[in-house]
Amino acid sequence: MSQLDLVITNARIATATELFTADIGIRDGKIALLGKIDTAGVNVIDAQGKLVTPGGVDAHCHLDQPSSDGSIMADDFATGTVSAACGGTTTVLPFACQFKGQSLRSAVEDYHRRAGNKPVIDYSFHLIVSDPTPQVLSEELPALISEGYTHFKIYMTYDDLKVSDRQILDLLALARVEGALPMIHAENDDCIAWLTDLLEQAGKTQPRFHSNARPTVMEREAAHRAISLAELIDVPVLIVHVSGNAAMTQIQQAQARGISIFGETCPQYLFLTAEDLAAPGFEGAKCICSPPPRTVEDQEHIWRGLKTGVFQVFSSDHAPYSYAGPHGKKVAGDHAGFRHVPNGVPGIETRMSLLMSEGVQKGRIDIHQFVSLTATGPAKLYGLHPKKGTIAPGADADLVIWDTQRDFTLSNSMLHHNVDYTPYEGMRLSCWPERVFSRGELIVENGNCIAQHGRGEFLRCSKPSFTKRRREFDWE
């Protein structure tokens, strides 16, 4: 047997199903052995009984994504992946966004140029399909799926990105034939536009009214409609960034009926509420995202959904718009109406520690649910498992050694993103990654990223396998 490159000894290993103590032997960037390992003549790092989990898979984040409103994301693939790594994430899946009138292929090529030699961790791309022309449906999208871009996002809102129900059906039908996974942003756009007009006519344009324009009933209706369209076509879909009980219940009911509907939620729906949008002055703009944060009661329902398996994915939905300056939250001015504030909050570095501190260490979820939500679940859904998302022989040696005895107050000054705030400023947390490994290489130690830019590898995803349910009729 060839020599190991590294052994991590005395690791308290947590996977989505097991918790055990063992040594981890690493060779050629992969996990070669688990158990008691003879470390004579081998490079050794002693985990000292600390918790070790798979490196996180952040399956919903935005990095250097182009826009049409003059806003510019503060994080590119350099700062964004460094920030992710420092937070324990070793794989990211941001979005190659097609704008209307643009070739889908050219959008992917542009996004590869944007990534360039910047990433310090491994990465893949979701597609955003906003213009499903006959050429996209018959040529570009099937070809890209076959090349490893096996998941794409559909928007039911935002003028630049939304598609009609008929177009959604076309995309879902293609996904079924090609074996791709559609992701759906579920909000009712016509109702949002109608409510926004009414609020503006009444002079209610401050950030706090963003949540009034996007009430839970509109997310519930859109989630129900998305699920109904998926049921008609008989194709699995993922409803992304679910904000509260109304939409979550639609997913839960569909799952109970045996429909292949998956759910994703994010930190902002556990730790922010609509009250945060009502901060003095324009400060509430920092927390504008869509769907918006809801109520404390909704937070408890989302925790319940994480615990009971309604959600398979916990993502950051990192959307790095700075507060100060002309290209972020204030792109339309210091007192712009909420309609004109770029949507999204930063969170790529804080995602895992927030869920570990407030979830596992406070008994809301167990360690296996944590691993599944932050790593194994997204890796399976997006065709990266078992290469990513687990600790097992043959898997990439993407690992996090946790300091679970740390007691500190979160501050933006300790983070590595290029955003000038965190919405979680001042939270008391009890853990943080101590060491992070990507393909067996130590890339983060004691809060410092020591990896070289460009070491991250682009990952082509396989087609996920899902069990089909019987259709009521055959549309093919």
CA distances from 188 to 66, 185, 345 (A): 24, 10, 21
Q: Which CATH number goes with the domain that contains 88?
A: 3.20.20.140
- Residue 189 DSSP code: H
Mean residue pLDDT across the chain: 96
Contact call for residues 423 and 431 (beta carbons, < 8 A): no
125 CB-side CA count, 13 A: 29
Q: What is the pLDDT of residue 469?
A: 42
Mean pLDDT of 363-381: 98
* Residues 28-59 pLDDT 10s: 999 999 999 999 889 999 999 999 999 999 99
Residue 91 in contact with residue 439, Cβ under 8 Å? Answer: no
Summarize pLDDT for 53-95 with one digit per residue, the tens: 999 999 999 999 999 999 999 999 999 999 999 999 999 999 9
Q: Output the furthest CA–CA distance in the chain (Å, rounded).
A: 75
Rounded CA-CA distance 62/17 in Å is: 30
Distance set, CA 13 to CA 35, 52, 401 (Å): 11, 5, 9
Q: Which of 49, 94, 90 is nearest to 389 (CA)?
A: 90
CA distance 362 to 380: 27
Give domain status of residue 27, yes or no.
Answer: no
Query: Is the C-alpha dihedral spanning 431, 266, 381, 125 positive or negative?
Result: negative
Cα–Cα dist 337/435, whole Å:
43
Q: How many CA atoms lie within 13 A of 192 on its CB side?
A: 23
Q: Taking a C-beta distance cutoff of 8 angstroms, is the pair 11, 50 a contact? A: yes
Residue span of the structural domain in which 60 resides? 56-372
Alpha helices in 336-460 (DSSP H): 351-355, 367-371, 377-381
Distance from the Cα of residue 205 to its chain's centroid: 29
Distance of CA 274 to the CA centre of its chain: 21
Per DSSP, 468 falls in state P
Write phi, then psi, for 286 (nearest 5 degrees): -60, -30
Beta-carbon contacts of residue 377 (< 8 Å; ≥ 6 apart)? 16, 312, 313, 314, 389
Residue 152 lies in a domain: yes
CB 425 within 8 A of CB 387: no
Name the residue among 93, 92, 97 with its Cα closest to residue 109. 97
DSSP 8-state symbol, 283: G
Query: How many domains does one find in the chain?
Result: 1
> Which pair of structure tokens corresponds to residue 397?
């040696």
pLDDT tops 90 at residue 411: yes
In a domain, 304, yes or no: yes
219: in domain: yes
For 278-332, how does the pLDDT look when each residue is reduced to its tens digit (9 = 90+)?
999 999 999 999 999 999 999 999 999 999 999 999 999 999 999 999 999 999 9
Position 475 pLDDT exceeds 80: no
Residue 325 lies in a domain: yes
**In this structure, are residues 75 and 418 in contact, taking their beta carbons and an 8 Å threshold?**
yes
Alpha carbons 178 and 145: distance in angstroms, whole number = 7
Q: Provide the 3-class DSSP secondary structure of residue 108.
A: helix
Q: Rounded to an integer, what distance in angstroms lies between the CA atom of residue 417 and that of residue 123?
A: 17
pLDDT of the residue at 470? 42
* pLDDT value for 465: 74
Q: What is the pLDDT of residue 1?
A: 53
* Tens digits of residue pLDDT in 172-206: 999 999 999 999 999 999 999 999 999 999 999 99
For residue 329, the one-letter residue type is K
Helix (H) or strand (E) holding 313: strand 313-314
Q: Which of 200, 183, 280, 198 is nearest to 235 (CA)?
A: 183
Q: What is the pLDDT of residue 29?
A: 98
Reference 351, options 422, 267, 432, 429; nearest CA is: 267
What is the model's pTM? 0.97
Length of the chain: 476
Residues 56 and 443: their CA atoms lie apart, in Å, by 14
Strand partners, 345: 318
pLDDT at 476: 44
Cα separation, 161 vs 354, in Å, equals 31
The pLDDT confidence band at residue 474, using thresholds 50, 70 and 90, is: very low
pLDDT, tens digit, for every residue of 204-261?
999 999 999 999 999 999 999 999 999 999 999 999 999 999 999 999 999 999 999 9
